[in-house]
Amino acid sequence: MEPEEFDAWYEAAFARLVRQVYAMTGDEEEARDCVQEAFVRAWDRRSRIDAGRGRDAWIRTTAHRLAVSRWRRRRMDRRASDRAVGVTVAADGPDERRVALVAALRHLPEAQRVALVLHHIADLSVDEVAAETGAPAGTVKARLSRGRAALADLLAEGATHA
């Protein structure tokens, strides 16, 4: 991958990948941090990620793993050096719908949450979600169906309590 190609990819994909990882983890600042770090690693290991749309999958998976790993570490020992970039960010402001959605997603089992994010936010097909998560397509469909139902209930409940 040439520098120009990497730069274009980074600038085009950064925001959408942050949103996707944010939806999976529930922490937007951490998502930005982890996606940033994943792009640093991606350039370091660019020879292995030349696979078109697979690039986004690589960043998404790496960033998600980083976020989970950091969360585990923080539980045991808060270490500032764990943060790759450590810049406090101001995203594009709170949006009631996004806040409610992320809060609701956090109540779902991880497998359902990841399937919903990949299908409805990352815009992957069911087969692509199956490929990225290693689950059969039928299982993905079931997770999406159950996840959507649960999410709709949670959002309705939130709206009622608001």
Partner 1 sequence: MPEHPVDPLEEAFESMRDTSRYPLPDLDPGTVRGLGDRRRRRRRAVAGGSVAAAAVAVLAGAVLVVGGGPEPEPLPAGPTRSTTPTPSSTPPAPSGTAEATPTGPPTTTPTVDATPTAPSTAPPPSPAAPLDPATMPLTAGYPDTNEDGTATRVERGPGPGVDVCGQTILTGRDARSVAVGRFLGGEDFRSRTLVVFSDEAEARAALEWTAATVRDCVGSPDLPAGSSVTVLGEAEGPGTFLWSQDYGPVGGPAMATGIRRLVLLGDALLVDTVDGEAWGPGGSADDEDVVATREALVPVVEAVRGARGSG
- Which residues of the shown chain bind partner 1 in the complex (CB under 8 A)? 3, 6-7, 10-11, 14-16, 18-20, 22-23, 32, 36, 39-51, 54-55, 57-58, 61-62, 65, 85, 87, 89-93, 95, 97-98, 100-101, 120-121, 123, 130-134, 148, 151-152, 155-156, 159
CB of 113 vs partner 1, minimal distance in Å: 13
CB of 82 vs partner 1, minimal distance in Å: 10
* Rounded Cα–Cα distance for residues 1 and 72 (Å): 33
Closer CB to partner 1, residue 93 or residue 161? 93
* Rounded Cα–Cα distance for residues 133 and 111 (Å): 9
Helix (H, G, I), strand (E, B) or coil at 118: helix
Closer CB to partner 1, residue 46 or residue 106? 46
* Rounded Cα–Cα distance for residues 154 and 162 (Å): 12
CB of 41 vs partner 1, minimal distance in Å: 7
- Residues whose CB is less than 8 angstroms from the CB of residue 108 and which lie 6 or more positions away in sequence, other chains included: 116, 147, 150, 151, 154
CB of 126 vs partner 1, minimal distance in Å: 13
> Are the C-beta atoms of 46 and 1 separated by less than 8 Å?
yes
> What's the angle, vertex CA 19, arms to CA 41 and CA 136, rounded to 5?
80
Closer CB to partner 1, residue 61 or residue 111? 61
Closer CB to partner 1, residue 95 or residue 109? 95
End-to-end CA distance of the chain: 49
CB of 4 vs partner 1, minimal distance in Å: 9
CA distances from 153 to 105, 119, 146, 150 (A): 11, 19, 11, 5
Closer CB to partner 1, residue 109 or residue 159? 159
